[in-house]
Amino acid sequence: MSSTLPIGIFDSGIGGLTVASAIHHLLPKEQLIYFGDTAHLPYGDKSPEAIKYYSLKIAKFLLDNKCKVIVIACNTASSHAFHELVHFLGDQIPIINVIDPVIDKMLKTDRYKKIGVIGTKSTITSDIYAKKFKEANPEIQVSSLATPLLAPMIEEGFFNNTISHTVINSYLSSPKLKGIDSLILACTHYPLIKKEINEFYKGKIDIINTAEIVADYVKERLTKLSLLNNDKPPQHQFYVSDYTSSFESSTRLFFDEKIHLTHYPIWD
């Protein structure tokens, strides 16, 4: 496999752009192909069966576009579709989720005893973080809270304002999150409100930015496979299943340049 092939990334909307941006800044010579399934966002209120179907369809699209690795830049899809995608792709290309790298990194220190997790209904219902932490270290406590309004709010551009402050403060005041020493942002949309979350906690707990951790893991994985690109300048490609002006604005915000957004109705 050629190292000049692109990295495929997908999410239901703009949330995965936090992961794509982190990868872009860490690996500026890599070409990215991003697919935002805006026709079905948010994934958090969809059934596991639907999420698996969407993920398999998108993975085939990225495979057909000769990606050398696929990053599931969505906690919900990582929770419900990762194993199906691994089975589907076999040994054709590596596939990376956004959950395992975060858990592995946090387990490398003994500073975390009571971890909070916020995410979509589907991710929290899967209880995947609590299960994986318990398997690795039964002494770690995990308190999970579904925060279903956050992803749609962010998708519509409502963050760093009065509306977002009110919604965020309401969720984080939940008794379920009392006494935590760290908080996993278990939705790739949430790094966009990390500043507001940090303000709520007044910097007293660690806010875990999954995007940066996943980007580090992608670099590590590509390095081990001798697939890091050192030649080809990036010409990123962005696809959406349903065009939205807010998505186009967000891509420009993350990549500091004019982005050509291609409407690709994968479901037609």
Range of weakest confidence among 75-89, 175-189, 197-211, 244-258: 244-258
CATH code that applies to domain 7-97+212-263: 3.40.50.1860
Active site residues per annotation: 74, 187
3-state secondary structure at position 30: coil
The H or E element that residue 208 is part of is strand 206-208
**CATH architecture entry for 100-210:** 3-Layer(aba) Sandwich (3.40)
- What pLDDT, in 10s, does the model give residues 29-77? 999 999 999 999 889 889 999 999 999 999 999 999 999 999 999 999 9
Indicate the helix (H) or strand (E) that contains 216. helix 210-224
User: pTM of the prediction?
Assistant: 0.92
- CATH 3.40.50.1860 in the chain: give the residue spans: 7-97+212-263, 100-210
Neighbours of 58 (CB within 10 A): 26
